[in-house]
Structure 1
Amino acid sequence: MGFSEENLIGLILALLSSGFIGASFIIKKQGLKKAAAVSGVRAGVGGYYYLLEPLWWVGMITMIVGEVANFVAYAFAPAVLVTPLGALSVIVSATLAQLILKEKLHHLGILGCVMCIAGSIIIVIHAPKEQPINSVLEIWDMATQPAFLAYVCSITVLVFILVFHFVPRCGHTNVLVYTAICSLMGSLTVMSVKALGTSLKLTFEGENQLIYPQTWFFSLVVAICVIMQMNYLNKALDTFNTAVVSPIYYVMFTTLTILASVIMFKDWDGQSGGTVVSEICGFIVVLSGMILLHATKEFERCNSFRGSAPSSPSLSARLYNGNEDFFIKHDEESGSPSENTCSRRQDLH
């Protein structure tokens, strides 16, 4: 189908987003370490000196810039293209961790990175063109079509069942409960963000969309979905090992987002069966690389403890986690997790 100019803009913004977000984790970590060294109190035990550390703020601003770029990318390119490219932030973090933090990335971890890159290239090559949209009213028609309304109703019912039935019973013992809520809400977040971003884009181009109540409705949905998604993602990260949460969340969130986009925006309409299969294969390659990278880093960390002195903290235990408490917990605690803990975490894989 060819690669449109808007797809190219969305691709560049998505790549910039991954670069900024991946780098922000390393910059913030460095800022947290400096703040803990000066104050003697780390964030993990209630320290807030990092708020006075300029390097931490540089990392925070870098992350905000990355998130804004990601938001704008959805206004130009389909979610089928933008969402899977979020995996590239892992590559940026892994590379910078090796260069700046001197953390080793072993052969299987490198293989995981290569798979993420290869899968992303396949997705980019076969990405569908973004259908032209001239008004938020067109997006509203897409959002109210029977197929997407059925999807939204299904998501809502599933979320209510998970929140009120499964969370009280097994939320703290089953990693799938919190991550499922995050992923289900996340797919609606992306659809609303794309609708809002497109409306703002049209407004900046001279076609004011702020006069339509639909624009403000999408803004409200974005706020509700983001708050709920972040609430349960934080619960998942606080309760379970991040090396387990991150790949599961990425797989579920990206799969559901692509499904929602295909239903609402008809991303695959007009594409040949071979092209669609190629996109799916690229997505599977990215997922496999993500899981391999996270599993390898956790396995290496536990084996390092069994074999000899504690090694450098696991990179995978920090990726996709903006929680400062978790970032420096592994760096400043003198001991390592027990061997039983490592065994338990490996069993979760």
Structure 2
Amino acid sequence: MGMSQDNLRGFILALLSSGFIGASFIIKKKGLRRAAAVSGVRAGYGGYAYLLEPLWWLGMVTMIVGEVANFVAYAFAPAILVTPLGALSIIVSAVLAHFMLKEKLHQLGVLGCVMCISGSVIIVIHAPQESPITSVQEIWAMATQPAFLLYLGSVIVLVVLLILYFAPRCGHTNVLVFTGICSLMGSLSVMSVKALGTALKLTFEGKNQLVYLETWFFMFIVATCVIIQMNYLNK
């Protein structure tokens, strides 16, 4: 079965997003290193000198471009198609890190890149057609089902536990702590971005969704998740 026009648009935007986001990680890391060399305090230990580093801001702009493309992709294609393609940013980062940061890409890293590509190809080939959504309230109805509320509560508890207990004790020695916070919040931001993107798409089509409180709530969730993710991603 061929890919629909909306899915194709979402696919292309997701690929562009992965390229920009993958490159942004490397640019920001170079900026963080440069800022740490000047100030003597790394971002992971509370330093914020990187906010005065132009290279870090270039990385931020690159990431914003990628995130905007990703946001629009969610408006056209189902999350099950767009989200896995985000893994391709890992490959972009790995390749650029090898050449720009002089970090070695070992055999396990190469194997991981191959698995990312293979998984993305399988997802793209078998991506389902998305059921048409006529209102943001439909998404809200799905988001307030007991199963999802249980998941939401579990994520919030885990994030609070990681931030308040594990981050101060072993956040700087165990990469899984900060990564876990970003990943858990990312799972919520993905769903909220999909809802917000769909709401804006419907609004541009003449079905105003900005009159619904649910649209603004999803916007608040997206902003909250992004702020938390950016803070711990820089650590």
Higher mean displacement: 45-54 or 129-138: 45-54
Q: Distance in 1 between matches of 2:157 and 2:66?
A: 34
Instruction: Tell whether the 8 Å contact from 1:25 to 1:322 is kept in structure 2 after alignment.
Output: no
Asked if structure 2 preserves the Cα contact closer than 8 Å seen for 1:136 and 1:215, the reply is yes
- Tell me, in whole angstroms, the C-alpha distance in 2 between the residues paired with 1:169 and 1:33: 27
CA contact (8 A) 2:186 2:229 kept: no
Q: Distance in 2 between matches of 1:154 and 1:191?
A: 15
TM-score by length of 1: 0.56
Alignment of structure 1 residues 87-106 onto 2, 5 Å: 87-106=87-106
Aligned to 1:322: 234
Residues 219 and 113 (structure 1), Cα distance of their counterparts in 2 relative to 1, 3 Å cut: same
Per mean C-alpha deviation after superposition, the further-off stretch among 90-99 and 130-139 is 130-139
2:143 and 2:72 mapped to 1: Cα distance?
20
Larger radius of gyration: 1
Counterpart CA distance in 2 for 1:104 and 1:61 is: 27
Q: CA RMSD in A?
A: 3.3
Instruction: Give the equivalent residue in structure 2 for 1:132.
Output: 132
Does residue 59 of structure 2 align to residue 59 of structure 1?
yes
Count of matched residue positions in the alignment of Structure 1 and Structure 2: 229
Code of the aligned partner of 1:102: K
Q: Does 1:41 align with 2:42?
A: no
Counterpart secondary structure, 1:72? helix
Against the structure 1 CA distance between its residues 41 and 99, is the aligned structure 2 distance closer, same or farther, given a 3 Å change threshold?
same
The alignment-based identity, stated in percent, is 67
Shift of 1:136: 2.2
Distance 2:65 2:113 in 1: 24
1:170-181 matches, within 5 Å, as 172=169
How far 1:161 moved relative to its partner? 5.3
Among candidates 141, 145, 151, match of residue 147 of structure 2: 151
Distance across 2 between alignment mates of 1:69 and 1:102: 29
Q: Are the equivalent residues in 2 in contact too, given 1:162–1:177 (CA < 8 A)? A: no
Q: Residue 6 of structure 1: CA displacement?
A: 0.9
TM-score (norm 2): 0.79
Map 1:171-210; keep pairs closer than 5 Å. Answer: 172=169, 183=183, 185-210=185-210
Query: In structure 2, what is the Cα distance between the partners aligned to 1:138 and 1:181?
Result: 29
Q: CA deviation at 1:3?
A: 0.9
Does the aligned pair in 2 maintain the 1:24–1:63 contact within 8 Å?
yes
Residue 8 of structure 1 is matched in structure 2 by 8
Q: Which residue of 2 aligns with 1:253?
A: none
Alpha carbons of structure 1 residues 19 and 43: separation in structure 2 relative to 1, 3 Å: farther
Structure 1 counterpart of 2:204, one-letter code: F
Deviation at 1:195, TM superposition (A): 1.0
Cα gap change, 1:198 to 1:46, in 2 (>3 Å): closer
Match of 2:86, SS state, is helix
Deviations, residues 212-256 of structure 1 (Å, cap 9, x unaligned): 2232232234345555x639x83xxxxxxxxxxxxxxxxxxxxxx
Residue in 1 aligned with 2:71? 71
Displacement of 1:52 = 3.8
Q: Distance in 1 between matches of 2:162 and 2:36?
A: 38
Q: Is 11-20 or 25-34 further displaced after alignment? A: 25-34
8 Å contact kept, 2:143–2:149:
no
Distance 2:101 2:178 in 1: 31
Question: 1:9·1:77 contact (CA, 8 Å) conserved in 2?
Answer: yes
Where do 5+ consecutive residues of structure 2 fail to align? none
